[in-house]
Amino acid sequence: MNPMKRYRLSVCKGMDCKGNGSDAVFAAAKEELAQRALVPRCEAYRGGCYGFCHMGPNVVIREDTGRKRDPLSPEDFQLMGWPGEVYYSRMTPEKMRRVVTEHIAEDKPIRELFGNPDEDP
Ligand code: FES
């Protein structure tokens, strides 16, 4: 673990993904971060709808560069293509716990869980 690295983890919260379990995914993220004492290392919050409801629930993780979050930024509604940005689709609480354990705690994004933003609805 690189102790200097920090993350922002966002779980979408539109109606479709809520219906598919995004609240449970968010709860699992919060729980796992707390259990592993990773709260100081990763801010977890609810994003908006990323437009990938057909692949939801969706989780976007970005490296925290210390940039102040702008409430008007489109970052909670779309992928930004920023370095270190990772998009996970079809998340479950189990997958979320694994992402916290490997991506957040060990700095190892899990390629096999990456979403494909070009996948057709
Ligand atoms: S609500 Fe999850 S992507 Fe639309």
Residue 36 CA to ligand 1 centre (angstroms): 27
* Closest atom of ligand 1 to CA, residue 16: 1
Q: What is the CATH number of the domain that holds 64?
A: 3.40.30.10
Q: What pLDDT shows up at residue 114?
A: 97
Q: What is the mean pLDDT of residues 52-71?
A: 91
DSSP letter for each residue of 47-76: ----S-GGG-S-EEEEE--SPPPPTT-GGG
Domain containing residue 107 = 7-68+77-113
Which tens digit of pLDDT belongs to each residue from 74-95? 999 999 999 999 999 999 999 9
- Cα 72 to Cα 95: distance, rounded to the nearest angstrom: 30
Which tens digit of pLDDT belongs to each residue from 3-33? 789 999 999 999 999 999 999 999 999 999 9
Q: What pLDDT shows up at residue 13?
A: 94
What total number of domains does the chain contain?
1
In a domain, 118, yes or no: no
In a domain, 120, yes or no: no
Q: What pLDDT shows up at residue 70?
A: 81
Query: Is the confidence at residue 69, as pLDDT, over 80?
Result: no
Opening angle at CA 109, ends 30 and 114, nearest 5: 90
In a domain, 121, yes or no: no
Q: Which residues line ligand 1 (CB under 6 A)?
A: 12, 14, 16-17, 49-50, 52-53, 56-58
